[in-house]
Amino acid sequence: MFADDMATASPILSVEALTKSYVGGAVPVLQDARFWQAEGEFLAVVGPSGCGKTTLLRCIAGLMKPDGGRVLHRGVEHANPPPWLSIVFQDYNRSLFPWLSVRRNAGFGLHKLDKVERERRVNEALAAVGLSHAAELYPWQLSGGMQQRTALARSIAASPELLLLDEPFASVDAQTRMDLQDLVMRICQEMKLATLLVTHDIDEAVLMADRIVVLSMRPARVVEDIRVPLARPRDQLTTKESKEFLQLRHRVFTAVRQEVKPGKPTAPRGKSDRRSP
Amino acid sequence: MKLAGVLKGAAGIAAAIALWEATRALGLIDARDLPSVLDIARSGVQNAGDLGRAALGTLGVWAAGLALATVLGGAAGIALALMPWLERITRPLIEFMRPIPSVALIPVALIVIGLGFRMEVTLITFASIWPVLFNAKAGVESVDPRYIETGRILGLGRASIVLRIVLPAALPAMATGVRTAAAIALVLAITVEMLAGQKGLGFFLQFAALNGQFAQMWAGTMFAGILGLALNAIFLTAERRVLVWSVEHRAS
Amino acid sequence: MRAETLQQRIGELAGQALLVLVLLTCWQVAAILFPAPHLPRLERIAASFWNLVHGELLVREVLPSAARVGAGLALGIVLGTAIGLAIGYFRALDPWLRPILEFLRALPAVTILPAALLLLGATDAMRVAIIAFGCTPPVLLAAIDGARRVEPLLLDTARVSGLTAAQTVARVIVPAALPQVFAGIRVALGVALIMMVISELLASNNGLGAFIQRNQRLFNTANVYAGVLVIGVLAWLFTAAMLKLEKRVLRWHRGWRGASE
């Protein structure tokens, strides 16, 4: 089922017939994936483990060239990642620069600006994520949650218009995860950021997103596109208890679970038993 | 894919040779001091016999010194690791001797022992012992305690545990130490030959240079490099074969 | 295996001191009872050492050696780091250059001495050149390794942040490769000292190597031992300085590695 169309003039992101495989075609990962994202929209991409979500994200971020199809950023195909795109990786302890302080990490992408402007943006970003007091610390002195917040600060300091998040909360404990989810939702609302969240956590997707795209097993296609009309601001407790939340959760869960049948091969032999309408 | 790599490597070598010839042609270095690669190769072939004999001379002392260093260094390293009190007491002594470059002891050896095979071997042993010692010590110290616990649970006595568990587990580290020591031993052997006129590659090089046989000298230098490569390759292959089970050598 | 209590510490120091004392006593006793050219009394060695570390001898013999090591090492570090980082960054270069690099690594640096002597004569330029020749391969290979091992996510971040290739090298690859490079520098330091001694033993009129050589020929053994001791001290000083520098520059590295385990 495709979502009812909100006929946006030019989506901020458009993924068209994306195809990608590894090892010269032997391992297909993405097969004709297609969806779009509107300006300011919070989109979640979910799917069974290992279905190619990260590959999809890397193609969108411009870090990887697809084998077929294309990725359009505001209607234009870019050779390199456009400057208004930012990304937060899952492994925060591998993506922060260990030799830079929190402040310097946050200011990393701002080398083109003059000093005053750079400082202002960094201070704003650090304040937004609640790390102003830790600005001079180094990554190894921070907890997991603080490290991820540093990565987040680095992304938003560049004033992006599209924020990509690759399973950003998978490596932190449950309590920290909830705090970070609230933080991201708040920041994206305030900055009116289009956000693309890749996650395997269905609760997280339903809680945070405006729309959820469900991927199949490898080679991944889009099998469902579900709108999440829950009211904002969303709350960890009350939203998750609401009837609508549970219904949506059920729907997404079922869609994902149908993709994970026992014995289903990861590399299909050309036949597909589900087609997108 | 592998073939492409080999071809590229060969191309790289060809480029280096071209650079050599260009340097000669442009007169950056006097053409007499820098013979053409062809001349060097020819000289190498012509003097193959002498080169071979020189290499054997060097390898003789090298092997003797390395063998001694392996046995003594290995034993010492293991002892130090198993008896921490010994390690503590001898630490200042070892830390004092360690930074002294062994080549500085050549004159000392000349005074104390005089010229000859014994002096060479003693020096080579002294220089090569350190990597073996430290690697053996580190190897024994980093043996996974679970192996030792397993031995204890199975009722093995202390000596048994050392011989059947600790030593084999420390072998990969020791092998690395011996490989390093082999390279050091070669340097020492050649240096002593140059300094004290002992027969071998070092002497061959000195002799050729003093007699103006520059092509021969360069041929000797190239040969020494190839010898170093060959020795390293032999050690690596041996390690891989014997220590196939170890983490470091498992095919990744 | 560190001493835990103060008592153990004192015991440890006592044991160490005792061992050293016993060895020195044996030496001295042997020197007195069995006088021989290769066994000078301790006080003579001490006197020679003292002479060597101050005054005219210090300037004429010790300082030139130290200066050559410093210059050769610096040259080797600069060359090795620059070329190594470049080769490590442009991965495509590796299969072309690999055989040559492996050859240079395996070539015993001492074998270049006759050639260097021939090309540059018995000059300081020659000595510094062969020290640099010996120092460059370990630093170069370490730099290649360091540049290759840079965490890919850091490079991804640089790409998404819009850094040019040059900026990426300067701001990401260099700092990330620094720990590896320092490991290579530590090896290079050992090689530098060896090459300094070799070049001075064989082809120099001044410097510690030449000093030892001269005195060996004249059988002034006390001077020979003293010279060796001074070389050891020099080695120790250089190493200590290197470690200090490494500690400061890589402060972040130690903490990071420790925390991520």
Cα–Cα distance for residue pair B246/A34, rounded to 1 Å: 47
SS3 A30: strand
CB atoms within 10 A of CB B144: 10
Structure tokens given for A96: 């922060």
Q: Please tell me what DSSP assigns to residue C238.
A: H
Q: What is the ipTM of this complex?
A: 0.84
> Do C228 and B16 lie within an 8 Å CB cutoff?
no
Quick one: pLDDT at residue B1?
62
Question: Quick one: pLDDT band at residue A3, thresholds 50, 70, 90?
Answer: very low
Tens digits of residue pLDDT in C92-144: 888 888 889 889 888 998 999 988 888 888 889 999 999 999 999 999 999 99
Tell me the average pLDDT across C9-18. Answer: 86
Tens digits of residue pLDDT in B212-223: 888 888 999 999
Spell out the residues 6+ positions from residue A165 whose beta carbon is closer than 8 angstroms to its own: A87, A88, A184, A195, A196, A197, A198, A199
Q: Is the pLDDT of residue A264 over 70?
A: no
For tokens 């080769």, the residue is C87
Kindly list the partner chains of chain A, i.e. chains with 3 or more CB atom pairs below 8 Å: C
Note whether C149 contacts A: Cβ–Cβ < 8 A.
Answer: no
Strand A68-73 with A13-22, pairing: antiparallel
Query: Helices B37-46 and B2-25 sit at what angle, rounded to 10 degrees?
Result: 100
Q: CA-based diameter of chain C, in Å?
A: 78
Quick one: pLDDT at residue A80?
80
Tens digits of residue pLDDT in B170-183: 888 899 899 999 99
Tens digits of residue pLDDT in A45-54: 998 877 788 8
What is the separation of C-alpha B44 from the centre of its chain, rounded to a whole number of angstroms?
23
Question: CA C92, C112, B188, B58 torsion: positive or negative?
Answer: positive
> Do B101 and C224 lie within an 8 Å CB cutoff?
no
Question: CA B109, B111, B115, B118 torsion: positive or negative?
Answer: negative
Which range scores top for mean pLDDT: A19-23, C38-42, C228-232?
Answer: C228-232
Tally A–C CB contacts below 8 A. 66
Whether C162 and C179 map to the same domain: the answer is yes
Q: Is the pLDDT of residue C159 over 60?
A: yes
Tell me the average pLDDT across A257-266. Answer: 62
Which is higher by pLDDT, B144 or C143? C143
CB C70 within 8 A of CB C59: no
Tell me the average pLDDT across C229-256. Answer: 87
Note whether B54 contacts C: Cβ–Cβ < 8 A.
Answer: no
Q: Is B252 exposed, middle or buried (0-12, 13-18, 19+ CB in 10 A)?
A: exposed
Question: Quick one: pLDDT band at residue A257, thresholds 50, 70, 90?
Answer: confident
Which range scores top for mean pLDDT: A80-84, A120-124, C161-165?
Answer: A120-124
Quick one: pLDDT at residue B251?
47
Whether C160 and C178 map to the same domain: the answer is yes
Distance from CA of C43 to the nearest CA of B (A): 18
Let me know how many helices (H) and strands (E) chain A has, helices first: 9, 9
Spell out the residues 6+ positions from residue B22 whose beta carbon is closer than 8 angstroms to its own: none
Strand A85-88 with A162-166, pairing: parallel
The rounded percent of chain C whose pLDDT value lies above 90 is: 43
Q: What are phi and psi of A66, to 5 degrees?
A: -70, 160
Whether C88 and C16 map to the same domain: the answer is no
Quick one: pLDDT at residue A209?
94
Question: CA A81, A86, A92, A93 torsion: positive or negative?
Answer: positive
Cα–Cα distance for residue pair C201/C208, rounded to 1 Å: 8
Whether C54 and C183 map to the same domain: the answer is yes
- Angle (CA) B174-B175-B181 rounded to 5° is 90
The rounded percent of chain C whose pLDDT value lies above 70 is: 95
Structure tokens given for C32: 């007195």
Distance from CA of A236 to the nearest CA of C (A): 30
Quick one: pLDDT at residue A7?
46
CB B51 within 8 A of CB B203: no
Distance from CA of A23 to the nearest CA of C (A): 19
CB A56 within 8 A of CB A33: yes
Output the average pLDDT for chain B: 87
Cα–Cα distance for residue pair C83/C93, rounded to 1 Å: 11
- Find, among B164, B132, B129, the residue nearest to B150 by Cα: B164
Quick one: pLDDT at residue B8?
86
- Angle (CA) A49-A52-A58 rounded to 5° is 130
Instruction: Report pTM.
Output: 0.82
Whether C17 and C105 map to the same domain: the answer is no
Containing domain of residue C12, as a range? 1-35
Whether C178 and C56 map to the same domain: the answer is yes
Spell out the residues 6+ positions from residue C129 whose beta carbon is closer than 8 angstroms to its own: C72, C116, C120
> Mind giving me the DSSP string for B10-44?
HHHHHHHHHHHHHHHHTTSS-TTTS--HHHHHHHH
Which is higher by pLDDT, A127 or A74? A127
Tens digits of residue pLDDT in B21-60: 888 888 777 777 788 888 888 888 888 888 889 999 999 9
Kindly list the partner chains of chain C, i.e. chains with 3 or more CB atom pairs below 8 Å: A, B
SS3 B117: helix
Tens digits of residue pLDDT in B114-130: 888 899 999 999 999 99
Note whether C167 contacts A: Cβ–Cβ < 8 A.
Answer: yes
Which residue segments constitute the domains of chain B, with CATH numbers given?
48-242 (1.10.3720.10)
Q: Which residue of B has its CA nearest to C112?
A: B221
Check which CATH number belongs to the domain holding C89 and give it.
Answer: 1.10.3720.10
Whether C30 and C159 map to the same domain: the answer is no
CB A220 within 8 A of CB A267: no
Whether C218 and C108 map to the same domain: the answer is yes
- Angle (CA) A99-A102-A103 rounded to 5° is 110
> Do C160 and A89 lie within an 8 Å CB cutoff?
no
Tally B–C CB contacts below 8 A. 158
Put simply, the chain C residues between 30 and 69 with a CB less than 8 A from any chain B CB are: 37-38
For tokens 């391969």, the residue is C137
CB A14 within 8 A of CB A72: yes
> Which member of C156, C162, C175 has the closest CB to residue A83?
C162
Domain boundaries, chain A: 1-84+160-263, 94-159
Cα–Cα distance for residue pair B57/B60, rounded to 1 Å: 5
Quick one: pLDDT at residue C2?
54
For tokens 């070892």, the residue is B94
> Which member of A63, A109, A138 has the closest CB to residue C255?
A138
Note whether C11 contacts B: Cβ–Cβ < 8 A.
Answer: no
Put simply, the chain B residues between 19 and 38 with a CB less than 8 A from any chain C CB are: 29, 33-34
* Of the listed ranges B56-65, C192-201, C245-254, the one predicted with least confidence: C245-254
> Do B224 and C107 lie within an 8 Å CB cutoff?
yes
Span A1-84+160-263 CATH architecture: 3-Layer(aba) Sandwich (3.40)
Spell out the residues 6+ positions from residue B39 whose beta carbon is closer than 8 angstroms to its own: B215
Quick one: pLDDT at residue A256?
85
Whether C135 and C162 map to the same domain: the answer is yes
* Of the listed ranges A256-260, C88-92, C113-117, the one predicted with least confidence: A256-260
Question: Quick one: pLDDT band at residue C4, thresholds 50, 70, 90?
Answer: low
Whether C183 and C214 map to the same domain: the answer is yes
Q: Is the pLDDT of residue A188 over 50?
A: yes
Question: Quick one: pLDDT band at residue A262, thresholds 50, 70, 90?
Answer: low
> Which member of C111, C115, C197 has the closest CB to residue B190?
C111
Which is higher by pLDDT, A209 or B25? A209
CB A215 within 8 A of CB A221: yes
Whether C113 and C222 map to the same domain: the answer is yes
> Which member of A89, A138, A154 has the closest CB to residue C153?
A89
Tell me the average pLDDT across C78-101. Answer: 89
The rounded percent of chain B whose pLDDT value lies above 90 is: 31
Tens digits of residue pLDDT in A131-152: 999 999 999 889 989 999 999 9
Question: Quick one: pLDDT band at residue C261, thresholds 50, 70, 90?
Answer: very low
Whether C181 and C210 map to the same domain: the answer is yes
